[in-house]
Protein backbone atom coordinates (compact mmCIF):
# COMPACT_ATOMS: atom_id res chain seq x y z
CA UNK A 1 0.00 0.00 0.00
CA UNK A 2 1.32 3.44 -0.97
CA UNK A 3 2.29 5.95 1.69
CA UNK A 4 0.08 9.00 2.26
CA UNK A 5 2.32 11.95 1.45
CA UNK A 6 -0.21 14.71 2.15
CA UNK A 7 -3.37 15.07 4.18
CA UNK A 8 -5.40 18.26 4.41
CA UNK A 9 -8.01 17.85 7.16
CA UNK A 10 -11.12 19.95 7.75
CA UNK A 11 -9.72 22.98 5.93
CA UNK A 12 -12.01 25.99 6.31
CA UNK A 13 -11.22 29.40 4.85
CA UNK A 14 -13.39 32.49 5.04
CA UNK A 15 -13.05 35.77 3.15
CA UNK A 16 -15.20 38.81 4.04
CA UNK A 17 -18.77 37.70 3.40
CA UNK A 18 -17.80 34.42 1.72
CA UNK A 19 -16.89 30.96 3.03
CA UNK A 20 -14.47 29.79 0.33
CA UNK A 21 -13.72 26.39 1.90
CA UNK A 22 -15.92 24.44 4.29
CA UNK A 23 -14.26 21.47 6.04
CA UNK A 24 -12.45 20.28 2.91
CA UNK A 25 -10.46 17.04 3.13
CA UNK A 26 -7.79 15.86 0.69
CA UNK A 27 -5.43 12.87 0.83
CA UNK A 28 -2.63 12.42 -1.71
CA UNK A 29 -0.52 9.26 -1.98
CA UNK A 30 3.19 9.33 -2.73
CA UNK A 31 3.96 9.00 -6.45
CA UNK A 32 0.44 9.65 -7.77
CA UNK A 33 -1.08 12.31 -9.98
CA UNK A 34 -4.07 13.67 -8.10
CA UNK A 35 -6.52 15.90 -9.98
CA UNK A 36 -8.55 18.61 -8.31
CA UNK A 37 -11.65 19.67 -10.25
CA UNK A 38 -14.61 21.94 -9.70
CA UNK A 39 -16.38 24.99 -11.06
CA UNK A 40 -14.74 28.41 -10.87
CA UNK A 41 -15.16 29.55 -7.29
CA UNK A 42 -15.34 25.98 -5.95
CA UNK A 43 -12.20 26.60 -3.85
CA UNK A 44 -9.50 24.67 -5.76
CA UNK A 45 -6.92 27.47 -6.00
CA UNK A 46 -7.72 28.64 -2.46
CA UNK A 47 -6.97 25.14 -1.14
CA UNK A 48 -3.65 25.00 -3.00
CA UNK A 49 -2.73 28.52 -1.85
CA UNK A 50 -3.19 27.30 1.72
CA UNK A 51 -1.03 24.24 1.04
CA UNK A 52 1.77 26.32 -0.49
CA UNK A 53 1.78 28.93 2.30
CA UNK A 54 0.41 31.80 0.22
CA UNK A 55 -2.40 31.93 2.79
CA UNK A 56 -0.36 31.48 5.99
CA UNK A 57 -1.19 29.32 8.98
CA UNK A 58 -3.63 31.16 11.20
CA UNK A 59 -5.64 32.55 8.29
CA UNK A 60 -7.59 29.28 7.99
CA UNK A 61 -8.83 26.43 10.18
CA UNK A 62 -7.78 22.80 9.81
CA UNK A 63 -4.51 20.86 9.52
CA UNK A 64 -1.90 20.18 6.86
CA UNK A 65 -0.04 16.92 7.46
CA UNK A 66 2.91 16.37 5.13
CA UNK A 67 5.17 13.33 5.44
CA UNK A 68 3.50 12.56 8.74
CA UNK A 69 4.27 15.96 10.26
CA UNK A 70 1.78 18.76 11.00
CA UNK A 71 2.91 21.81 9.01
CA UNK A 72 2.27 25.46 9.83
CA UNK A 73 3.57 27.31 6.77
CA UNK A 74 4.00 31.05 7.25
CA UNK A 75 4.90 31.73 3.61
CA UNK A 76 5.74 30.07 0.32
CA UNK A 77 9.40 29.64 1.26
CA UNK A 78 8.39 27.38 4.17
CA UNK A 79 6.56 24.99 1.85
CA UNK A 80 9.30 25.07 -0.80
CA UNK A 81 11.89 24.03 1.79
CA UNK A 82 9.94 20.77 2.14
CA UNK A 83 9.73 20.31 -1.62
CA UNK A 84 6.18 21.60 -2.19
CA UNK A 85 6.25 23.82 -5.28
CA UNK A 86 3.26 25.50 -6.95
CA UNK A 87 3.08 26.66 -10.58
CA UNK A 88 0.29 29.17 -11.06
CA UNK A 89 -1.86 29.62 -14.15
CA UNK A 90 -0.30 33.06 -14.68
CA UNK A 91 3.35 32.16 -15.14
CA UNK A 92 5.78 33.96 -12.80
CA UNK A 93 8.56 34.63 -15.31
CA UNK A 94 10.38 37.88 -16.08
CA UNK A 95 10.27 38.40 -19.89
CA UNK A 96 13.56 40.30 -20.27
CA UNK A 97 15.63 37.93 -18.14
CA UNK A 98 17.14 34.75 -19.55
CA UNK A 99 15.74 31.29 -18.95
CA UNK A 100 18.64 30.53 -16.59
CA UNK A 101 18.15 33.75 -14.61
CA UNK A 102 14.43 33.03 -14.25
CA UNK A 103 14.96 29.44 -13.18
CA UNK A 104 17.11 30.41 -10.20
CA UNK A 105 15.54 33.76 -9.35
CA UNK A 106 15.24 33.76 -5.55
CA UNK A 107 17.11 30.46 -5.50
CA UNK A 108 20.49 31.71 -6.68
CA UNK A 109 23.52 29.44 -6.88
CA UNK A 110 26.84 30.58 -5.46
CA UNK A 111 28.07 32.49 -2.45
CA UNK A 112 26.26 35.25 -0.59
CA UNK A 113 27.53 38.14 -2.71
CA UNK A 114 28.68 36.28 -5.82
CA UNK A 115 26.37 34.31 -8.10
CA UNK A 116 28.01 31.37 -9.84
CA UNK A 117 26.78 32.14 -13.37
CA UNK A 118 28.65 29.29 -15.03
CA UNK A 119 27.14 26.85 -12.55
CA UNK A 120 23.71 28.49 -12.89
CA UNK A 121 23.57 28.15 -16.68
CA UNK A 122 25.06 24.65 -16.65
CA UNK A 123 22.44 23.45 -14.15
CA UNK A 124 19.69 25.28 -16.05
CA UNK A 125 20.69 23.53 -19.31
CA UNK A 126 20.65 20.18 -17.51
CA UNK A 127 17.14 20.81 -16.14
CA UNK A 128 15.89 21.99 -19.54
CA UNK A 129 17.02 18.68 -21.04
CA UNK A 130 15.17 16.87 -18.25
CA UNK A 131 11.87 18.48 -19.30
CA UNK A 132 12.66 17.96 -23.00
CA UNK A 133 13.13 21.63 -23.89
CA UNK A 134 15.74 22.18 -26.60
CA UNK A 135 16.56 25.81 -25.80
CA UNK A 136 19.68 27.51 -24.54
CA UNK A 137 19.35 28.74 -20.96
CA UNK A 138 20.80 32.06 -22.25
CA UNK A 139 17.62 32.68 -24.30
CA UNK A 140 15.34 35.42 -22.98
CA UNK A 141 11.86 34.39 -21.86
CA UNK A 142 10.21 36.89 -24.23
CA UNK A 143 11.72 35.01 -27.18
CA UNK A 144 10.03 31.66 -26.47
CA UNK A 145 6.36 30.66 -26.72
CA UNK A 146 3.91 30.00 -23.90
CA UNK A 147 4.27 26.21 -24.21
CA UNK A 148 8.02 26.46 -23.68
CA UNK A 149 7.55 28.92 -20.82
CA UNK A 150 5.39 26.33 -19.07
CA UNK A 151 8.24 23.83 -19.36
CA UNK A 152 10.64 26.43 -17.96
CA UNK A 153 8.38 26.75 -14.90
CA UNK A 154 8.51 22.97 -14.41
CA UNK A 155 12.29 22.95 -14.81
CA UNK A 156 12.43 25.79 -12.28
CA UNK A 157 10.44 23.64 -9.84
CA UNK A 158 12.82 20.73 -10.37
CA UNK A 159 15.66 23.07 -9.44
CA UNK A 160 14.02 23.45 -6.01
CA UNK A 161 14.18 19.68 -5.38
CA UNK A 162 10.43 19.35 -5.72
CA UNK A 163 8.69 16.39 -4.07
CA UNK A 164 5.10 17.56 -4.52
CA UNK A 165 4.36 19.57 -7.66
CA UNK A 166 1.14 21.62 -7.80
CA UNK A 167 0.02 22.72 -11.27
CA UNK A 168 -2.86 25.19 -11.56
CA UNK A 169 -4.36 24.95 -15.08
CA UNK A 170 -1.01 23.98 -16.68
CA UNK A 171 -2.45 23.55 -20.18
CA UNK A 172 -4.88 26.49 -20.22
CA UNK A 173 -2.72 28.49 -22.66
CA UNK A 174 -1.40 25.54 -24.68
CA UNK A 175 -2.53 24.00 -27.94
CA UNK A 176 -3.46 20.31 -28.03
CA UNK A 177 -0.01 19.15 -29.13
CA UNK A 178 1.85 21.09 -26.41
CA UNK A 179 -0.75 19.98 -23.84
CA UNK A 180 -0.22 16.31 -24.71
CA UNK A 181 3.56 16.70 -24.42
CA UNK A 182 3.19 18.31 -20.99
CA UNK A 183 0.86 15.56 -19.75
CA UNK A 184 3.24 12.87 -20.97
CA UNK A 185 6.06 14.65 -19.12
CA UNK A 186 4.03 14.45 -15.89
CA UNK A 187 3.55 10.72 -16.47
CA UNK A 188 7.32 10.33 -16.92
CA UNK A 189 7.94 12.20 -13.66
CA UNK A 190 5.42 9.94 -11.96
CA UNK A 191 7.50 6.90 -12.94
CA UNK A 192 10.44 8.54 -11.15
CA UNK A 193 8.38 8.97 -7.98
CA UNK A 194 7.27 12.62 -8.26
CA UNK A 195 3.86 13.37 -6.78
CA UNK A 196 1.64 15.90 -8.55
CA UNK A 197 -1.60 17.74 -7.83
CA UNK A 198 -3.19 19.12 -10.98
CA UNK A 199 -6.04 21.62 -11.24
CA UNK A 200 -7.69 21.58 -14.65
CA UNK A 201 -11.00 22.24 -16.39
CA UNK A 202 -10.02 19.98 -19.30
CA UNK A 203 -11.72 16.77 -18.29
CA UNK A 204 -10.25 14.66 -21.11
CA UNK A 205 -6.76 15.55 -19.85
CA UNK A 206 -7.74 14.75 -16.27
CA UNK A 207 -8.99 11.32 -17.33
CA UNK A 208 -5.73 10.73 -19.25
CA UNK A 209 -3.23 11.37 -16.43
CA UNK A 210 -4.97 11.28 -13.04
CA UNK A 211 -4.84 8.35 -10.63
CA UNK A 212 -7.43 10.02 -8.39
CA UNK A 213 -9.87 12.87 -8.92
CA UNK A 214 -11.21 14.95 -6.04
CA UNK A 215 -14.29 17.02 -6.88
CA UNK A 216 -15.05 20.27 -5.05
CA UNK A 217 -18.33 22.15 -5.25
CA UNK A 218 -19.18 25.38 -3.42
CA UNK A 219 -16.13 25.04 -1.18
CA UNK A 220 -16.89 21.49 -0.04
CA UNK A 221 -15.52 18.04 -0.92
CA UNK A 222 -18.06 16.08 -2.99
CA UNK A 223 -16.13 12.84 -3.63
CA UNK A 224 -12.79 11.34 -4.65
CA UNK A 225 -12.79 8.98 -7.62
CA UNK A 226 -10.08 6.32 -7.98
CA UNK A 227 -8.95 5.08 -11.39
CA UNK A 228 -9.50 1.34 -11.68
CA UNK A 229 -12.03 1.26 -8.84
CA UNK A 230 -14.65 3.83 -9.80
CA UNK A 231 -16.44 4.27 -13.09
CA UNK A 232 -14.79 7.51 -14.20
CA UNK A 233 -16.28 9.36 -17.16
CA UNK A 234 -16.70 13.02 -18.01
CA UNK A 235 -20.45 13.02 -17.34
CA UNK A 236 -19.94 11.78 -13.79
CA UNK A 237 -17.26 14.40 -13.12
CA UNK A 238 -19.46 17.16 -14.57
CA UNK A 239 -22.42 16.08 -12.44
CA UNK A 240 -20.23 16.20 -9.33
CA UNK A 241 -18.92 19.65 -10.26
CA UNK A 242 -22.18 21.37 -11.17
CA UNK A 243 -24.69 19.26 -9.25
CA UNK A 244 -26.57 18.23 -12.39
CA UNK A 245 -25.99 16.47 -15.69
CA UNK A 246 -25.12 18.42 -18.83
CA UNK A 247 -26.73 16.35 -21.55
CA UNK A 248 -25.16 18.38 -24.35
CA UNK A 249 -21.88 20.26 -23.85
CA UNK A 250 -22.71 22.62 -26.74
CA UNK A 251 -26.23 24.13 -26.82
CA UNK A 252 -28.06 23.67 -30.09
CA UNK A 253 -28.61 26.66 -32.37
CA UNK A 254 -30.94 27.32 -35.30
CA UNK A 255 -28.67 29.30 -37.59
CA UNK A 256 -30.18 32.08 -39.71
CA UNK A 257 -27.17 33.23 -41.69
CA UNK A 258 -27.36 36.37 -43.79
CA UNK A 259 -25.04 38.54 -45.85
CA UNK A 260 -21.32 39.12 -45.24
CA UNK A 261 -20.74 41.67 -42.49
CA UNK A 262 -16.93 41.66 -42.35
CA UNK A 263 -14.32 40.57 -44.87
CA UNK A 264 -10.53 40.79 -44.86
CA UNK A 265 -8.74 40.51 -48.22
CA UNK A 266 -4.98 39.94 -48.56
CA UNK A 267 -4.53 41.07 -44.97
CA UNK A 268 -0.82 41.21 -44.14
CA UNK A 269 0.76 42.16 -40.83
CA UNK A 270 4.39 42.37 -39.72
CA UNK A 271 5.75 41.81 -36.22
CA UNK A 272 6.01 45.05 -34.18
CA UNK A 273 9.61 44.36 -33.09
CA UNK A 274 10.99 42.09 -35.81
CA UNK A 275 9.88 44.21 -38.73
CA UNK A 276 10.86 41.68 -41.43
CA UNK A 277 8.76 38.87 -39.94
CA UNK A 278 5.24 38.39 -41.29
CA UNK A 279 2.72 37.25 -38.68
CA UNK A 280 -0.25 37.40 -41.07
CA UNK A 281 0.46 36.60 -44.70
CA UNK A 282 -2.21 37.58 -47.27
CA UNK A 283 -5.06 36.32 -45.10
CA UNK A 284 -8.55 36.12 -46.60
CA UNK A 285 -11.63 35.37 -44.51
CA UNK A 286 -15.15 36.62 -43.85
CA UNK A 287 -18.06 36.32 -41.44
CA UNK A 288 -21.79 36.67 -42.11
CA UNK A 289 -24.72 38.05 -40.16
CA UNK A 290 -26.02 35.52 -37.62
CA UNK A 291 -22.96 33.28 -38.08
CA UNK A 292 -20.25 31.91 -35.79
CA UNK A 293 -16.97 31.56 -37.70
CA UNK A 294 -14.29 29.58 -35.88
CA UNK A 295 -10.58 30.16 -36.40
CA UNK A 296 -8.50 27.14 -35.45
CA UNK A 297 -4.73 26.70 -35.39
CA UNK A 298 -1.75 25.86 -33.26
CA UNK A 299 -0.26 28.30 -30.77
CA UNK A 300 1.68 30.93 -32.70
CA UNK A 301 -0.31 30.48 -35.90
CA UNK A 302 -1.23 34.19 -35.92
CA UNK A 303 -4.89 34.04 -34.86
CA UNK A 304 -4.66 36.63 -32.07
CA UNK A 305 -2.37 38.84 -34.17
CA UNK A 306 -4.94 38.77 -36.99
CA UNK A 307 -7.78 39.72 -34.64
CA UNK A 308 -5.89 42.55 -32.93
CA UNK A 309 -4.58 44.00 -36.19
CA UNK A 310 -8.13 44.15 -37.57
CA UNK A 311 -9.36 45.74 -34.35
CA UNK A 312 -8.03 49.25 -34.89
CA UNK A 313 -4.47 48.13 -35.72
CA UNK A 314 -3.88 47.39 -32.03
CA UNK A 315 -1.11 44.98 -33.05
CA UNK A 316 1.55 44.93 -35.74
CA UNK A 317 3.29 47.19 -38.24
CA UNK A 318 3.17 47.64 -42.02
CA UNK A 319 -0.42 46.45 -42.08
CA UNK A 320 -1.81 46.12 -45.60
CA UNK A 321 -4.81 44.61 -47.34
CA UNK A 322 -8.47 45.56 -47.46
CA UNK A 323 -11.10 45.39 -44.73
CA UNK A 324 -14.80 45.62 -45.53
CA UNK A 325 -17.57 46.20 -42.96
CA UNK A 326 -21.09 45.73 -44.31
CA UNK A 327 -19.82 46.00 -47.88
CA UNK A 328 -17.94 49.27 -47.34
CA UNK A 329 -14.14 49.40 -47.31
CA UNK A 330 -12.93 50.87 -44.01
CA UNK A 331 -9.61 51.97 -42.56
CA UNK A 332 -9.52 51.51 -38.80
CA UNK A 333 -6.45 53.23 -37.41
CA UNK A 334 -7.47 53.13 -33.76
CA UNK A 335 -9.54 51.13 -31.29
CA UNK A 336 -11.91 54.08 -31.02
CA UNK A 337 -12.58 53.91 -34.77
CA UNK A 338 -13.12 50.15 -34.55
CA UNK A 339 -15.71 50.59 -31.78
CA UNK A 340 -17.44 53.34 -33.74
CA UNK A 341 -17.66 50.92 -36.69
CA UNK A 342 -19.47 48.48 -34.34
CA UNK A 343 -16.58 46.05 -34.10
CA UNK A 344 -15.53 44.51 -30.76
CA UNK A 345 -12.55 42.38 -29.73
CA UNK A 346 -12.79 40.34 -26.52
CA UNK A 347 -9.18 39.71 -25.57
CA UNK A 348 -7.79 36.32 -24.52
CA UNK A 349 -6.05 38.04 -21.56
CA UNK A 350 -8.96 39.21 -19.44
CA UNK A 351 -6.76 40.01 -16.43
CA UNK A 352 -4.01 41.86 -18.28
CA UNK A 353 -5.82 43.63 -21.11
CA UNK A 354 -9.56 43.17 -20.69
CA UNK A 355 -10.50 44.33 -17.19
CA UNK A 356 -9.33 46.68 -14.46
CA UNK A 357 -9.23 44.12 -11.66
CA UNK A 358 -9.00 46.62 -8.81
CA UNK A 359 -12.14 48.44 -9.99
CA UNK A 360 -15.75 47.41 -9.34
CA UNK A 361 -17.92 45.52 -11.82
CA UNK A 362 -20.08 48.52 -12.69
CA UNK A 363 -17.17 50.72 -13.85
CA UNK A 364 -15.65 47.87 -15.89
CA UNK A 365 -19.00 47.27 -17.54
CA UNK A 366 -19.09 50.69 -19.22
CA UNK A 367 -15.40 51.02 -20.19
CA UNK A 368 -15.88 50.38 -23.91
CA UNK A 369 -18.69 52.95 -24.36
CA UNK A 370 -18.37 55.65 -21.72
CA UNK A 371 -20.45 58.16 -23.71
CA UNK A 372 -23.54 56.02 -23.05
CA UNK A 373 -23.28 56.65 -19.30
CA UNK A 374 -22.00 60.22 -19.29
CA UNK A 375 -23.12 63.72 -20.13
CA UNK A 376 -20.83 66.71 -20.78
CA UNK A 377 -17.81 64.52 -19.85
CA UNK A 378 -19.31 63.68 -16.44
CA UNK A 379 -20.01 60.02 -15.70
CA UNK A 380 -23.46 59.28 -14.33
CA UNK A 381 -22.78 56.63 -11.66
CA UNK A 382 -26.48 55.84 -11.29
CA UNK A 383 -26.63 54.96 -14.99
CA UNK A 384 -23.52 52.81 -14.64
CA UNK A 385 -25.08 50.91 -11.75
CA UNK A 386 -28.34 50.46 -13.64
CA UNK A 387 -26.57 49.09 -16.73
CA UNK A 388 -24.28 46.83 -14.67
CA UNK A 389 -27.23 45.31 -12.81
CA UNK A 390 -29.04 44.76 -16.10
CA UNK A 391 -26.09 42.80 -17.52
CA UNK A 392 -25.57 40.98 -14.23
CA UNK A 393 -29.09 39.56 -14.63
CA UNK A 394 -28.81 39.03 -18.39
CA UNK A 395 -25.53 37.06 -18.16
CA UNK A 396 -26.27 35.45 -14.76
CA UNK A 397 -23.07 36.85 -13.24
CA UNK A 398 -22.62 35.43 -9.74
CA UNK A 399 -21.64 38.24 -7.37
CA UNK A 400 -23.11 39.77 -4.20
CA UNK A 401 -23.22 43.21 -5.86
CA UNK A 402 -21.97 45.12 -8.90
CA UNK A 403 -20.03 47.22 -6.38
CA UNK A 404 -17.69 44.23 -5.87
CA UNK A 405 -14.18 44.51 -7.34
CA UNK A 406 -13.62 42.31 -10.39
CA UNK A 407 -10.50 40.73 -8.84
CA UNK A 408 -12.72 39.02 -6.27
CA UNK A 409 -14.76 37.17 -8.90
CA UNK A 410 -14.09 33.66 -10.21
CA UNK A 411 -12.62 33.31 -13.71
CA UNK A 412 -15.97 32.47 -15.28
CA UNK A 413 -17.66 35.50 -13.77
CA UNK A 414 -14.75 37.76 -14.76
CA UNK A 415 -15.27 36.50 -18.31
CA UNK A 416 -18.95 37.44 -18.13
CA UNK A 417 -18.03 40.97 -17.01
CA UNK A 418 -15.63 41.20 -19.96
CA UNK A 419 -18.38 40.04 -22.33
CA UNK A 420 -20.90 42.45 -20.85
CA UNK A 421 -18.41 45.31 -21.29
CA UNK A 422 -18.35 44.68 -25.04
CA UNK A 423 -22.04 43.79 -25.36
CA UNK A 424 -22.82 47.18 -23.79
CA UNK A 425 -20.92 48.80 -26.68
CA UNK A 426 -23.60 47.23 -28.95
CA UNK A 427 -21.29 45.87 -31.68
CA UNK A 428 -22.51 44.14 -34.84
CA UNK A 429 -19.36 42.00 -35.05
CA UNK A 430 -17.65 40.41 -32.04
CA UNK A 431 -14.26 38.71 -32.17
CA UNK A 432 -13.99 36.38 -29.19
CA UNK A 433 -10.41 35.30 -28.47
CA UNK A 434 -10.29 32.19 -26.22
CA UNK A 435 -13.53 33.21 -24.45
CA UNK A 436 -13.66 30.06 -22.28
CA UNK A 437 -9.98 29.76 -21.34
CA UNK A 438 -9.51 28.72 -17.72
CA UNK A 439 -13.20 28.40 -16.85
CA UNK A 440 -15.22 25.37 -15.86
CA UNK A 441 -17.72 23.36 -17.89
CA UNK A 442 -20.77 24.97 -16.29
CA UNK A 443 -19.51 28.51 -17.00
CA UNK A 444 -18.47 27.43 -20.51
CA UNK A 445 -22.01 26.30 -21.23
CA UNK A 446 -23.33 29.70 -20.13
CA UNK A 447 -20.80 31.46 -22.40
CA UNK A 448 -21.92 29.26 -25.30
CA UNK A 449 -25.52 30.22 -24.62
CA UNK A 450 -24.53 33.90 -24.70
CA UNK A 451 -22.81 33.36 -28.08
CA UNK A 452 -25.97 31.69 -29.42
CA UNK A 453 -28.04 34.59 -28.16
CA UNK A 454 -25.76 37.10 -29.91
CA UNK A 455 -26.03 35.43 -33.33
CA UNK A 456 -29.79 34.93 -32.84
CA UNK A 457 -29.97 38.73 -32.56
CA UNK A 458 -28.24 38.96 -35.95
CA UNK A 459 -24.74 39.71 -34.72
CA UNK A 460 -21.65 38.10 -36.26
CA UNK A 461 -19.18 36.20 -34.06
CA UNK A 462 -15.59 35.22 -34.85
CA UNK A 463 -14.50 32.55 -32.36
CA UNK A 464 -10.79 31.90 -31.78
CA UNK A 465 -10.10 28.83 -29.65
CA UNK A 466 -7.32 26.34 -28.99
CA UNK A 467 -9.91 23.68 -28.11
CA UNK A 468 -10.84 21.87 -31.31
CA UNK A 469 -13.96 20.39 -29.72
CA UNK A 470 -15.15 23.92 -28.92
CA UNK A 471 -14.49 25.13 -32.47
CA UNK A 472 -16.34 22.12 -33.89
CA UNK A 473 -19.20 22.37 -31.41
CA UNK A 474 -19.92 26.08 -31.85
CA UNK A 475 -18.95 27.11 -35.40
CA UNK A 476 -21.02 27.33 -38.59
CA UNK A 477 -17.81 27.62 -40.63
CA UNK A 478 -14.20 26.99 -39.68
CA UNK A 479 -11.00 28.56 -41.01
CA UNK A 480 -7.66 26.90 -40.23
CA UNK A 481 -4.65 29.15 -39.73
CA UNK A 482 -1.00 28.07 -39.76
CA UNK A 483 2.20 30.14 -39.65
CA UNK A 484 0.28 33.32 -40.42
CA UNK A 485 -1.69 31.96 -43.39
CA UNK A 486 -5.21 30.65 -43.86
CA UNK A 487 -4.70 27.11 -45.15
CA UNK A 488 -8.25 25.69 -45.19
CA UNK A 489 -11.94 26.47 -44.83
CA UNK A 490 -14.59 23.94 -43.74
CA UNK A 491 -18.34 24.01 -43.48
CA UNK A 492 -19.66 22.67 -40.19
CA UNK A 493 -20.86 19.40 -41.74
CA UNK A 494 -17.51 18.48 -43.28
CA UNK A 495 -15.23 19.43 -40.39
CA UNK A 496 -13.82 17.09 -37.75
CA UNK A 497 -10.68 16.99 -35.60
CA UNK A 498 -8.88 14.63 -37.96
CA UNK A 499 -9.53 16.83 -41.02
CA UNK A 500 -8.30 19.98 -39.26
CA UNK A 501 -5.17 18.38 -37.80
CA UNK A 502 -4.38 16.70 -41.15
CA UNK A 503 -4.39 20.14 -42.81
CA UNK A 504 -1.96 21.48 -40.23
CA UNK A 505 0.35 18.44 -40.40
CA UNK A 506 0.39 18.53 -44.23
CA UNK A 507 1.30 22.22 -44.12
CA UNK A 508 4.05 21.48 -41.59
CA UNK A 509 5.53 18.79 -43.83
CA UNK A 510 5.33 21.06 -46.87
CA UNK A 511 7.19 23.84 -45.06
CA UNK A 512 9.85 21.42 -43.77
CA UNK A 513 10.45 20.15 -47.30
CA UNK A 514 10.73 23.70 -48.62
CA UNK A 515 13.20 24.61 -45.87
CA UNK A 516 15.24 21.49 -46.64
CA UNK A 517 15.48 22.50 -50.32
CA UNK A 518 16.65 25.98 -49.35
Distances (CA, A) of 374 to 67, 377, 382: 60, 6, 10
Question: 450 and 370 share a domain?
Answer: no
Question: 107 and 204 share a domain?
Answer: yes
Average pLDDT over residues 310-332: 95
Question: 471 and 418 share a domain?
Answer: no
140-151: burial string, b at 16+ Cβ within 10 Å, e else: ebeebeebbbbb
pLDDT for res 517: 66
Question: 76 and 117 share a domain?
Answer: yes
pLDDT for res 171: 82
Asked if residues 155 and 179 have their Cβ atoms less than 8 Å apart, the reply is: no
Average pLDDT over residues 106-113: 79
pLDDT for res 420: 94
Q: Which of the listed residues 371, 404, 426 is the one where a domain comes to its end?
A: 426
Q: Which of the listed residues 426, 444, 479 is the one where a domain comes to its end?
A: 426
Q: Which CATH number fits the domain that encloses residue 485?
A: 3.40.50.300
pLDDT for res 441: 77
Question: 169 and 53 share a domain?
Answer: yes
Distance CA 188, CA 185 (A): 5
Average pLDDT over residues 479-501: 90
431-469: burial string, b at 16+ Cβ within 10 Å, e else: bbbbbbbbbbbbbbbbbbebbbebbeeebbbbbbbbbbe
Q: For 71-81, how does the pLDDT look when each residue is reduced to its tens digit (9 = 90+)?
A: 999 999 999 99
Residue 266 forms part of a structural domain: yes
Closest CA to 152 of 192, 199, 104: 104
Question: 237 and 110 share a domain?
Answer: yes
Question: Which of 182-191, 322-331, 348-357 is predicted most confidently?
Answer: 322-331
pLDDT for res 45: 87
Q: For 218-245, how does the pLDDT look when each residue is reduced to its tens digit (9 = 90+)?
A: 889 999 999 989 888 777 888 888 776 6
Residue 248 forms part of a structural domain: no
Q: Which of 115-119, 236-240, 305-309, 341-345 has the lowest mean pLDDT?
A: 236-240
**Phi, psi dihedrals of residue 213, rounded to the nearest 5°:** -130, 115
Distance CA 103, CA 99 (A): 6
pTM of the model: 0.70
Residue 422 forms part of a structural domain: yes
Residue 251 forms part of a structural domain: no
Question: 504 and 491 share a domain?
Answer: yes
1 has a pLDDT exceeding 60: no
Closest CA to 290 of 254, 251, 240, 322: 254
First-residue to last-residue Cα distance in the chain: 58
Average pLDDT over residues 266-287: 92
pLDDT for res 296: 92
Distances (CA, A) of 432 to 262, 294, 342, 454, 495: 14, 10, 14, 12, 20
Residue 353 forms part of a structural domain: no
Asked if residues 284 and 454 have their Cβ atoms less than 8 Å apart, the reply is: no
DSSP letter assigned to residue 58: T
Distance CA 44, CA 225 (A): 16
Average pLDDT over residues 163-176: 82
Contacts of residue 417, Cβ cutoff 8 Å, sequence gap at least 6:
355, 361, 364, 365, 397, 406, 409
Question: 175 and 312 share a domain?
Answer: no
Asked if residues 100 and 138 have their Cβ atoms less than 8 Å apart, the reply is: yes
Q: Which of the listed residues 426, 444, 467 is the one where a domain comes to its end?
A: 426
pLDDT for res 247: 59
Domains contained in the chain, number: 3
pLDDT for res 515: 63
Residue 351 forms part of a structural domain: no
Asked if residues 201 and 438 have their Cβ atoms less than 8 Å apart, the reply is: yes
Distance CA 476, CA 29 (A): 46
Question: 460 and 419 share a domain?
Answer: no
H or E segment and range at residue 127: helix 117-130
Residue 350 forms part of a structural domain: no
Distance CA 142, CA 265 (A): 31
Question: 84 and 224 share a domain?
Answer: yes
**Residue 324 C-beta-side C-alpha neighbours within 13 Å:** 15
Question: 278 and 323 share a domain?
Answer: yes
Domain residues for the domain of 38 are 4-242
Average pLDDT over residues 51-67: 94
pLDDT for res 293: 97
Question: 48 and 108 share a domain?
Answer: yes
342 has a pLDDT exceeding 90: yes
Residue 255 forms part of a structural domain: no
Give the rounded percent of residues in the chain with a pLDDT score beyond 70.
96
Q: Which of 137-151, 234-248, 439-453 has the lowest mean pLDDT?
A: 234-248
Q: Which of 95-99, 315-319, 397-401 has the lowest mean pLDDT?
A: 397-401
Q: Which of 40-44, 156-160, 163-167 has the lowest mean pLDDT?
A: 40-44
**pLDDT, the chain, mean:** 89
Q: For 18-37, how does the pLDDT look when each residue is reduced to its tens digit (9 = 90+)?
A: 788 999 999 999 999 999 99
Closest CA to 218 of 60, 84, 24, 66: 24
Amino acid sequence: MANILLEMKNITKTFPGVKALDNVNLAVEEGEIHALVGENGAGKSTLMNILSGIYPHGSYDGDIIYNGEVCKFKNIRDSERLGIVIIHQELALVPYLTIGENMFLGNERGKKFAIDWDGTYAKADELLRTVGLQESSHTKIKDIGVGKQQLVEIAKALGKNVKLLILDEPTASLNENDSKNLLNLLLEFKKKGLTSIMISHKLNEISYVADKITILRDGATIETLVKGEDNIDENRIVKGMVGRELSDRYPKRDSRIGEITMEAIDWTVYHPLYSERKVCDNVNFNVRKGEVVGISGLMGSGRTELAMSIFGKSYGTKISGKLFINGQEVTLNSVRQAIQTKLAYVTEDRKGDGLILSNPIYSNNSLAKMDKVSSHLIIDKDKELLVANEYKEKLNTKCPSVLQNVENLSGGNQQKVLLSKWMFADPDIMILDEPTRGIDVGAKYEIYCIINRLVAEGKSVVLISSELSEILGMSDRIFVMHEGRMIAEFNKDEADQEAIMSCIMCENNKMENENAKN
